Amino acid sequence: MSIKLYGYWRSTASYRARIALNLKGVEYEYVPVNLVNDGGEQHSSEYSRLNPAHLVPTFVDEDEDIILNQSLAIIEYLDERYESEHRLVPEHLTERARVRALAQDIACDIQPIGNLRVLNALKGHFEASQDDVAKWAAHWIALGFDGIEKRLQTQAGKYCFDFDVTLADICLVPQVYNAQRFNVDMSRYPLISKIAKNCNELSAFELAKPENQKDAI
Amino acid sequence: MSIKLYGYWRSTASYRARIALNLKGVEYEYVPVNLVNDGGEQHSSEYSRLNPAHLVPTFVDEDEDIILNQSLAIIEYLDERYESEHRLVPEHLTERARVRALAQDIACDIQPIGNLRVLNALKGHFEASQDDVAKWAAHWIALGFDGIEKRLQTQAGKYCFDFDVTLADICLVPQVYNAQRFNVDMSRYPLISKIAKNCNELSAFELAKPENQKDAI
């Protein structure tokens, strides 16, 4: 298959890319990269040639001769390459900007701080316990969701933006999955919870769930 | 003035937005938000109405009736609104994607982990000392720069991408500024260093420097 996604079942950035591929109706081969076993396959010489940052996901499109990291860049690439399909970033100037900003509220301000490698580093640098790092992860998710829930009050409909499923929803749903893992009290976020539920009723989201991947354990 | 940027002199995300405004030749009013004094002006009720995440920067364009957070979203908005000017994200499908990915290597995988609020939280959660948090910040910058330096070997010219100054350079230069603050050994990154130097010779970058802002101390 000319399109490959290297990812890890529980990586939320990989999860985002899977949702987008499904929403765009793109067939792809999913290649698991185990972030945990043997110190992490992302550090292998083979994989780090594809992705010198040693992170997932990595997207390969052989027809366009492109190897791409960063889930948001991958998703916008898919959206621009398959323009005729459902648009994940709307066409209107200000709507596009608002969708991207909400996606980045998650991808820049929440997810990176509670990443597996960061949690491991907290244990190494500060002798943090498993309980400490779980609290750390939950703290940043809750702080980020506080702001997002307020923003959604002025714009949300069935999805983050009234109009349709967008890049913002693609980022929100995996972050809600992670929030549940870290026992964030989701009753504080009725709009976020409702939107995640609406998204998860769509097959593109269902098929992308961590537990539905071949590398899930 | 119809365009305002709320920012902080030393915030690298604010710094990115200032560079982009300058490169696009957009006149704007810079409104300082002091992140340090009195527990941080970003938490004031007035500012948090503009930005419920209590972060900088926030961009306001009264003519288009938009209030926008997230530096990357702000920069792409500027690029799309002022299309006739110098393009910060190139037009070609795969080039666009590569530029965005490199920008996100910084904006998602480096900057958020060494953010002021994260460093303060390390002190609170783990009793980290000032020296500990400085090492933490330097660690993530070096790790990220290791990957970026490798990527640049296959594509860099005078700037991150041969063709011209892009969104990637706009993210790189503030991150180099931060690397120097945290004493990262920049001799390990000859390509990054050369590109930052080339960018800093342009007036758009010079005028955006933290020390050239009215709130610099």
What's the rounded Cα separation, in Å, for the pair B154 and B174? 22
The residue among A86, A112, A131 that closes a domain is A86
Alpha-carbon torsion A7, A11, A13, A14, what sign?
A: positive
pLDDT, one tens digit per residue, over B40-74 is 999 999 999 999 999 999 999 999 999 999 999 99
pLDDT at position A86 is 87
Same domain, A201 and A98: yes
Q: In what order do the strands lie in the sheet with B58-61?
A: B29-32, B3-7, B58-61, B66-69
**How far is Cα of residue A147 from the mean position of the Cα atoms in its chain?**
18
pLDDT at position A159 is 97
pLDDT at position B162 is 82
The residue among A86, A114, A148 that closes a domain is A86
CATH number at residue B97: 1.20.1050.10
How many angstroms separate the CA of residue A107 from the nearest CA in chain B? 6
What's the rounded Cα separation, in Å, for the pair A200 and A204? 8
Q: What percent of chain B has pLDDT over 70?
A: 100
Domain that holds residue B115: 93-205
The residue among A58, A86, A114 that closes a domain is A86
**Contact assessment for residue A45 and residue A54, using Cβ atoms and an 8 Å cutoff:** no
Chain B interface includes A82 (CB < 8 A):
no
CB-nearest partner of A126 from B64, B107, B128: B128
Closest CA to B113 of A104, A123, A112: A112
Chain B interface includes A62 (CB < 8 A):
no
In single-letter form, the type of residue at position B142 comes to A
pLDDT at position B185 is 98
> Residue ranges of chain A with pLDDT lower than 70?
none
Nearest 5°: the CA angle B149, B95, B201 is 55
Same domain, A124 and A150: yes
**Contact assessment for residue B5 and residue B17, using Cβ atoms and an 8 Å cutoff:** yes
Chain A residues within 8 A of B52 when measuring between CB atoms: 146-148, 150-151
Nearest CA in chain B to A108: B108
Same domain, B149 and B123: yes
Peptide bond into B32 cis (omega under 30): no
Across the range B98-116, mean pLDDT stands at 97
pLDDT at position A84 is 78
Cβ contact (<8 Å) for A113 and B111? no
**CA separation, residue A158 to residues A149, B30, B62 (Å):** 14, 36, 28
What's the rounded Cα separation, in Å, for the pair A79 and A170? 12
Q: Would you say the ipTM is above 0.95?
A: yes
Q: How many other C-beta atoms can be found within 10 angstroms of the C-beta atom of residue A10?
A: 20
Chain B residues within 8 A of A51 when measuring between CB atoms: 147
In chain B, the largest separation of any two C-alpha atoms, in whole Å, equals: 51
How many angstroms separate the CA of residue B91 from the nearest CA in chain A? 11
pLDDT, one tens digit per residue, over A119-143 is 999 999 999 999 999 999 999 999 9
Number of domains in chain B: 2
**Residue B13 pLDDT exceeds 90:** yes
